[in-house]
Amino acid sequence: MQYFQDDYSLAILYDLWGIIEDSTNPEIIENQIEILHKALSYAQRANHTGLTGLIEYHLIYRYDDLNQPIHALDLIESCKNHLQKAGAYRRILEMQLTEGVLYKKLRIYSKAMSIYENLSTNKDQVMGNRIKTSLYTNLSWCLFMQEKDEQALAYAMQALSLGSTFPDVYIVLVFSNYRLRQFDLARQYATEFLEKNFEEKRAVLIGLFMKLVLAVLNQEPDIASLSYEITALLPDFRAVELEIPFYSLLTDYYKSKNDFSGALDAQDKLVSYLKFDFNFH
């Protein structure tokens, strides 16, 4: 540490320390946030606008990792202003996209949609497929959660055409087609998902859901084991937000089997999720 005595160097050192490891462990992320706040204080003392904006940028992502979107949003405007002054226009675009994601997590879909639509009307500024793909993916999910399935599918297809490798896109492609009673397309995309090799851990849960969709479409007599597997994984993958399509699918299946006890149980779980977990997880 004696080699890094000035505020600027210490800011860089602590910033690197705070971002060097990606983790899902809340304790590790909380420690990283503390380290990044130290970095931020040094950058502010050094009066370095660009570095201050960069550290705020990293803090926003760490708060998002900790599922604290309100704390992340508190830093957005300051971060955008510092990045603007530093001329970091690419990062500003990414920060606008992140701002939409944070509002989406808070279920303030009108605000999220406004941000995404503003970005989508300025395509010349949105450079590169990565940002466009993320933009269309997030637009499709906002619309999907509002049951605007035709629009959701249009954006999901755009994301896919740009090479999206985010597995959640297939939840939209499958379940929006299912809700529109376009069962052949739902079956096609569920099968397509299962034939792909996604690297994300969340793809395991989504893959089980795709198997469940196919089982329901094929009117298989017993889906209990698949249902139990998915239910067991839901607490570990809350960010996927699979509960609404999952419980809705179970309700439809049990109704089709005249199993009204099973249908009511699935409906009760959906209502409980919408009333409690949906707003606070």
Q: What are phi and psi of 87, to 5 degrees?
A: 75, 20
Hunting for tokens 């597997």 — which residue is that? 229
Per-residue pLDDT of the chain (281 residues; tens, 9 = 90+): 445 578 999 999 999 999 998 887 889 999 999 999 999 999 999 999 999 999 999 999 999 988 899 999 999 999 999 999 998 888 888 899 999 999 998 889 999 999 998 887 765 555 677 888 989 999 999 999 999 999 999 999 999 999 888 999 999 999 999 999 999 999 999 999 999 988 888 999 999 999 999 999 999 988 999 999 999 999 888 888 999 999 999 999 999 999 999 999 999 999 998 887 655 44
Distance CA 236, CA 16 (A): 28
Hunting for tokens 């939409």 — which residue is that? 100
Q: What are phi and psi of 62, to 5 degrees?
A: -70, -40
Hunting for tokens 């979107």 — which residue is that? 69
Cβ pair 44, 78 in contact under 8 A: no
Distance CA 88, CA 79 (A): 11
Question: What are the helix and strand counts (H, E) for the chain?
Answer: 15, 0
pLDDT tens column, 209-251: 999 999 999 999 889 999 999 999 998 888 889 999 999 999 9
CA angle 21-126-176, nearest 5°? 80
Non-local (6+) Cβ contacts of 27 within 8 A are none
